[in-house]
Amino acid sequence: MGVGGRFWDLLKPYAKYEDIDFLRGKRVAVDLPFWIVQHDQAIRARLPHARNPHLRTTFFRTIALFSKMGAYPVFVVDGNPSPLKQQARIERFFRGSGLDPSELAKVQVPAKEGQKGTPVKRNPVYIRYIQECTELLELLGMPVLRADGEAEALCAQLNREGHVDACITADSDAFLFGATCVIKSLRSNSKEPFECYDVSDIESELGLKRKQMIAIALLVGNDYDLHGVPGLGVDTALRLVRQFSEDEIFDRLCQIGKGSIPDLEKTNEEMDTIAASTSMKSRHCSNCGHPGSKKAHTKVACEYCVPNGSKVFCVEKPSGFKCFCPSCDQEREIKEKKRHENWLTKVCEKIASEKNFPNDEIIQLYLRETHGGCENTDTPILRWDEYKVEDLIEFLVYHQHWDPSYIRKSILPIQSTIYLRKIADSPSIEQPLLCEQYEFDSIQRVKIQLGHPYYLVKWRRAISSNNLSDGSNKESMIEEQMDPIEVDD
């Protein structure tokens, strides 16, 4: 998904590897469709008879992300795909199914918004998965936003505008939509660090900015155009886009698409000048390879050999010897520029052979500033404390056939995390009881799990007027992860 041509392999050397403490206190936009598709397949492979693995995955991973990792997740779901995405999806289906590509022309999809064509709906099973997971997340008190189009586009917008600190998605299109920090993979039950990509590192190490990454996607293929330019890989595309600045890259691609080879005339003029100045190359000694002749060097020492510590006038040249006199340097420069010219000509000819390259509609899709998520407001409303316990239990009993007591035990980390955060934020304000019967007592000790510190929290059953007579005061122990600063504040 995202940019083709092994784009992730290009970025991998510049990944940072973070542990779960990196997420503590951070808001993260989660590409929910990616989450569902990725882990639904994994669970079905491990537990083929698991009931509704999409709900099971979403439930436990959300609890881990919010409570154990200390993050504030914002879940994003897809809206309606663009006509370009619909066409690409149909083409991908034809490829994967081994169908005759010529039959693809019979499936008419509107080329642009508002044009007539055969509507292409999403897979109904996929739609049901998204709807059920959305309902589950809202019952857990998690914010869920709907994108106008692709979920990764809204994730990137939230990140770019500062509403979240990072995006969790494996779709490299997030960079093209403007994301500044992308977490590619995340496993809450592993000691292994996860891959995290910072756009500032990509800019400084690879020299690529957002528009240049879009240019690479146009050249090697993307979710809206699977082909790109045939015969161009990601390394060639990288070399080409580095020739131009971010401000000029699209104009240059337009010129190339029309058959113009940029800066070639200037290069030819420079090469003619250099060639003229080196047309009369000086003789070189057959023994040492430096300017002069072997006969002359028997009488007068070679000026290149003697300064190198030689005690003889002329030293026999070793295997693979290269002369670095001015004329030889210029000759190599001419050859290198000629090779570059030939390479650039071949690449530009391939690009010019593509009809309507570059596709401006794809460029505008990636550069679009807003992708939904805000209803009647300028900024999204993000809250993490409106969970509905009884409705959640009813939902999971119906869909998963779980015992209510098991559900209550499973959601306790979310409830206690919210409770402790409220105490940390407003220690002077009396908070309602946890589960309507417990109040915070103390932190018992620190324990290490998966290489990270956790706190064993002691809860005390509150004494009400109804049980004062019997003096009951039961206590309970619950394991909960909580940043000590948050607690002490």
The predicted-structure confidence for 385-418, as pLDDT tens digits, reads as follows: 778 999 999 999 999 999 999 999 999 889 888 8
1 pLDDT exceeds 90?
Answer: no
Beta-strand relationship, 181-183 and 194-198: antiparallel
Residue listed under structure tokens 């993260």: 28
Give the pLDDT band of residue 213 (cuts 50, 70, 90): very high
Give all strands of the β-sheet with 475-480 in edge-to-edge order: 438-449, 452-461, 475-480
Is pLDDT of 162 > 90? yes
For residue 116, the model assigns a pLDDT of 46
* pLDDT beyond 70 at 431: yes
- Predicted local confidence at residue 264, as pLDDT: 57
Contacts of 399-408 spanning 24+ positions with Cβ under 8 A: 399/51, 399/52, 399/55, 399/132, 400/51, 400/52, 400/55, 400/56, 401/51, 408/435
Which residues are 73's β-sheet partners? Answer: 28
489 band by pLDDT with thresholds 50, 70 and 90: very low
pLDDT at 266: 53
Sort strands 452-461 and 475-480 into parallel, antiparallel or unpaired: antiparallel
Separation between Cα atoms, residue 136 and residue 139, nearest integer Å: 5
Q: Is 324 helix (H, G, I), strand (E, B) or coil?
A: coil
Predicted local distance difference test score (pLDDT) of residue 377: 67
Instruction: Decide if pLDDT at 95 tops 60.
Output: no
- Assigned token pair, 115: 């044009």
pLDDT (average), residues 369-384:
78
Of 117 and 61, the one with more pLDDT: 61
Could you tell me the two tokens for 193? Answer: 């660090």
Percent residues over pLDDT 70 in the chain? 78
- Residue keyed to tokens 């882990």: 39
Average pLDDT over every residue of 230-236: 92
Specify the pLDDT at position 439.
80
Mean pLDDT for 152-177 is: 95
Q: Which two tokens stand for residue 453?
A: 């510190």
Q: What sign does the dihedral 53-55-56-61 (CA atoms) show?
A: positive
Whether the bond between 453 and the residue before it is cis, its omega within 30 degrees of 0, is no
How high is the pLDDT of residue 275? 55
